[in-house]
Amino acid sequence: MKKYILICLLLFTGLGAFAQKFAYVDSEYILKHMPEYKSAQNQLDVLSQQWQKAADNNFSELDKMYKAYQADQVLLTDDMRKKRENDIIEKEKAAKDFQRQKFGPDGDLFQSRIKLLKPIQEKVSKVIADYAKGKQIDFIFDKGSEATMMIYSSSSFDVSDDIITRLGYKPGAIGK
């Protein structure tokens, strides 16, 4: 009797698994169709280039200071040598601090990226969730992110163009 109940339970559970609907989107493809995403990326690129130029200038000045110190080293007194060495060390510390402040894990570039891209990502996520509920889809995977990788997927399950349309943009012009 227990065997029959177990078999029935497994049978119904197995049939339930086949009733699930799956789909996937390509988030990179969707984001490429959004002008506000392109604008945010351009803003981040400009900030990054400005800060990188400033960081390069800091290290260039540091390099000049070090070369001048090496050239003058034999002519300097011990006190003058120590002062110049301390100046070089301080300049190097300031340059590294600037680089860490702008490009570090919690740096200005990271914070700017969150500030500019989070509203766009939330908008896309909401549209995807609404789409899934409307189409009664159980799972939507993102093949564009690094975290989820698909070895094979049928293009009939790709709903990226539908998401782009629901966001109010025209799909197609940009290749996948």
CB 33 within 8 A of CB 123: no
DSSP letters spanning 50-89: HHHHHHHHHHHHHHHHHHHHHHHGGGS-HHHHHHHHHHHH
Tokens of 25: 């989107």
% helix / strand / coil in the chain, to the nearest 5? 75, 5, 20
Would you say the pTM of this structure is higher than 0.85?
no
Q: What is the pLDDT of residues 124-170, one digit of tens each?
A: 988 988 888 888 888 888 887 676 655 455 677 888 999 999 999 98
pLDDT exceeds cutoff 50 at 43 = yes
Handedness of CA 34, 38, 44, 48 (dihedral sign): positive
User: Would you kindly state where each structural domain of the chain is located, as residue ranges?
Assistant: 16-166
